[in-house]
Each structure stands twice: as structure tokens, then as C-alpha cells.
Amino acid sequence: MRINKKKFIYLISPNKINKSFYEDLSEILRLKKVSFFQLRLKDTPFKKKLFIAKKIKKICKKFKTKFLINDDVYLAKKLHSDGCHLGQKDMDLTEARKILKKKIIGITCHNSLKLAKSAIKKNADYLAFGAFNISKTKKIKYIASINLLNKIKKITNTPIVAIGGINSNNYKKLLLNKANFLAISGYVWKNKNLKPLDAIKKLK
């Protein structure tokens, strides 16, 4: 998986997609800072998710952004998306690989070296660690540290995605400590002071 240092943002969707979302997403992707866009809709029926995902796929394709589906391997296959992100309670990576073949599959590793080593052994395309900061998007169960990033970098070249409460005040520290991509959601979609496009522009 190629890493473009200028495109370090791994953007995750809001939990609910409103009418202005598609235009906001187009404006953001036009900046060419986003490598991945992940659709993460937890309580949305499959049909509605499919309808939303098809519209997003077109936008991602237009701006050459990799489009990933959270949790749902079958939706990723049906859509011919670029891949899927799996949590520890989702389908096993080996099973997912049989279905998605050479598509991108990333794995949540929380703050665990053990989980990371297991994902590396199963040829995960990237490893996601976090939370590095307090997040408004998810309840925090696991806290990850810069020290963990350094340990992981010594054992693998697999790209690393840092997750959790990342914003314009704290993002540089993670990049300086060799996180390849920064997963961002709440800072963009739930920002009370900045519109989504302006929030992204602050990440230089």
C-alpha cells in the first residue's frame, strides 16, 4: 500500500448522513489530503447503507480516494469498494480475505502489541491503534501511547493509522512519531466552530 505523506488523512463518516454531507465530502476530497474515506454507519439498515455507499463511492472515485466500509465485508464485496475495516469483534481477517481477495483490509488493534502481531501475521494492509486522545465519536476503552507507535515501527513496515480525538492541536505529534495516517471524524463533522472544509484545511 503506497503512502503519500501529503495525504495523511483517513476520514471516517459521521454516524448520520445529512443532505449537506455529499457536497461537504466533495469539497474536502478536492483538497487531495485524504487517502481513505471510511463509511461507518452503525445502526443503518443494509438497503439504506447500500444507497448511501453508492453515492459516496462515486465521489471517492472522482477524487481518487480509497473507499472503505466499516465492519461489513459483504457490503464491501457487493459495492466493489476498495476494502473494509474490521474491528476485533468483526469477521476474522483470514475469512474476510477469502471474500475480498486483494482488497484493502485494515484491523483495529486498540493498544495491543499482541493484536498487532496477529494482524501482521495474517497480512493486514494497515493497523489501527487508539485512542490517542479523548474522542467524541466513541466511548474510550483503550488508551494508546506514542511509545506503542515506536515499538510497532520496530517490528513492521505495515502502515499505521492513529485513532481517537485527533484535531488541529494534536495531529502533528502523531505524524512526527511516524503514524502514517490519522483517522479523523468528530473534529470534521461535529466541530462547533468550523465547517467541515475549514476544519480539514487546518491540517497542513
The 10s digit of each residue's pLDDT in 54-78 is 999 999 999 999 999 999 999 999 9
What is the amino acid identity at position 40?
Answer: R
What is the amino acid identity at position 37?
Answer: F
Separation between Cα atoms, residue 128 and residue 141, nearest integer Å = 14
Separation between Cα atoms, residue 102 and residue 110, nearest integer Å = 24
Do residues 38 and 10 touch, judged by C-beta distance below 8 A?
yes
Q: What percent of the chain has pLDDT over 70?
A: 98
Residues with Cβ within 8 Å of 143's Cβ and at least 6 positions away in sequence, in order, are: 111, 131, 132
Q: Look at residue 4 in the predicted model and tell me its pLDDT.
A: 76
DSSP code at position 70 = E
What is the average per-residue pLDDT within 6-34? 96
What structural domains and CATH numbers belong to the chain? 9-201 (3.20.20.70)
Closest CA to 92 of 82, 105, 102, 79: 105
Q: What percent of the chain has pLDDT over 90?
A: 90
